[in-house]
Amino acid sequence: MSPSPIQAFLDRDLIPPLADQDEIRLLCLQPGVTGDKIVCTTQHVKLSTNPQYEALSYVWGSKDMRPITLNSYPWEVRENLFDALINLRHETKPRILWIDAICIKQDDVKERNHQVSRMGTIYSKASKVVAWLGLANEFTVEALGHLEKFEEEEAPKIICSSSLVFKNELAGTEAGHRILEGVRLISLRSYWTRLWIIQELQLASDADIQCGRNCVPWEVFKAFFMDLEPEEPYYPVFSALGEDEKHVSPLSNLIWEAWSRDDSPSVRNSQYLSHLCFSFRKSQCEKAIDKILGLWSLAPVCCQDGVPVDYDLGVDQVLGKIFGHEVGAHDTPSRYLDRDEGVDRLRKLIFESWSHWTELERTWRQVEEDMAAYDLLLTSLDELV
């Protein structure tokens, strides 16, 4: 049996190994027009020399493979990445990208571990992060087409231009409904449910969201979504996501989180690792431990120091470290629990369902109330002495 194109490629070792810990692989996407084959080459650069590249943020998605040419040989990529390459390709000039599936040798465990630990740096050093949401449909074209007319604006603004124009000129019209439907469909894309995209977007110095050929600055999309959400006439669009879902939908969370970070450095520092894990508990990742470590780059330094990244630890060991850190460094109700109970609570908070949370929330509040009563008792005893 003849080897598959991928095996033939690996056998020839046509992706050269990285020379040292500072080196990363970049992808050069050759120019082309509709109908041309996708042609790419890889190149090595030192991250410390601040190379110019854009980093792709996307979901791997279905395992259906599509053919491309990589370093002059046949290669295969998953369908969603193939669609991204087709739509991101420039007509006349190459585009330099960092894309995990190609720039990290997926069959080299040692390289993979090291590169994964550097992903926060890779995304934060990219000149731009491009969030690929998938192929367009008629509604997404109208929604993003509306937003493409607007530039990024200086924050803070009471209301952004795109939503102002929408409310004054488009709300209630057929075109307005189609735009809202497009925003709703975009907010339901599987892209938003992937846990790793949170750090990829939050750490980006600049980001665009792209759906098909439409490309909008993340800041513009975020501002429009924020302005729209609480307004009564538009509310049904978001309540279509379901009342509970609306409040924990990954896109809503991501936008609120990003907004509170932009708004105030003190808020940024109060988003403890445990809070982040809880906020994004609905996001999906392949390994349970990534539900915690995938958010580590966004946590304040105290939490990073208190809970170092260590893939050799099990989930409960990492939860134990979080609990220990919470008790030692943060003023949270968890200080009243013993370690096993604390780990158990954290595990439920982060890994169990939304319905479970309402019950847990009550329990936590009870602990706080009990302790407040206890503190009051101690104070009054002090006064008696």
CB of 103 or CB of 198, closer to Zn ion:
198
CB of 192 or CB of 296, closer to Zn ion:
296
289 contacts 277 by C-beta, under 8 angstroms: no
Q: Cα separation of 208 and 211, whole Å?
A: 10
For 98, the enclosing helix (H) or strand (E) is strand 95-98
Q: How is 118-152 classified by DSSP, letter by letter?
A: THHHHHHHSSEEEEE-----HHHHHHHHHHTT---
Tokens 């027009």 belong to 33
Give the distance, in angstroms, between the CA of residue 10 and the centroid of all CA atoms in the same chain.
Answer: 31
User: CB under 8 Å to 155, separation ≥6 — which residues?
Assistant: 262
Q: Count residues contacting Zn ion (CB under 5 A)?
A: 4
CB of 166 or CB of 272, closer to Zn ion:
272
- Chain positions 100 to 159 lying near Zn ion, rule: CB under 5 A, are none
Shortest Å, Cβ 275 to Zn ion = 10
For residue 44, the tally of other CB atoms under 10 A from its CB is 16
CA separation, residue 164 to residues 10, 20, 157, 369 (Å): 54, 51, 11, 44
Shortest Å, Cβ 299 to Zn ion = 7
Shortest Å, Cβ 322 to Zn ion = 9
3-state secondary structure of 64: coil
CB of 129 or CB of 307, closer to Zn ion:
307
Shortest Å, Cβ 274 to Zn ion = 8
Shortest Å, Cβ 306 to Zn ion = 6
CB of 64 or CB of 305, closer to Zn ion:
305
Shortest Å, Cβ 354 to Zn ion = 25
Shortest Å, Cβ 329 to Zn ion = 5
- Spell out, one character per residue from 234 to 263, where the chain touches Zn ion: x when CB under 5 A holds, - when not: ------------------------------
CB of 185 or CB of 329, closer to Zn ion:
329
CB of 61 or CB of 300, closer to Zn ion:
300
Shortest Å, Cβ 304 to Zn ion = 8
Q: Cα separation of 79 and 180, whole Å?
A: 28
CB of 134 or CB of 294, closer to Zn ion:
294
Q: Cα separation of 139 and 144, whole Å?
A: 9
277 lies in the binding site for Zn ion (CB under 5 A): no
Q: Cα separation of 301 and 199, whole Å?
A: 15
For residue 372, the tally of other CB atoms under 10 A from its CB is 10
Stretch that binds Zn ion, among 67-75, 95-103, 161-169, 268-276 (CB under 5 A): 268-276
- Chain positions 319 to 348 lying near Zn ion, rule: CB under 5 A, are 329
- Spell out, one character per residue from 287 to 316, where the chain touches Zn ion: x when CB under 5 A holds, - when not: ---------------xx-------------
CB of 61 or CB of 324, closer to Zn ion:
324
User: CB under 8 Å to 158, separation ≥6 — which residues?
Assistant: none
Shortest Å, Cβ 12 to Zn ion = 48
Q: Which residues of 174-199 are buried (b: 16+ CB within 10 A; e: fewer)?
A: eebebbbbbbbbbbebebbbbbbbbb
Which residues of this chain interact with Zn ion, rule CB under 5 A? 272, 302-303, 329
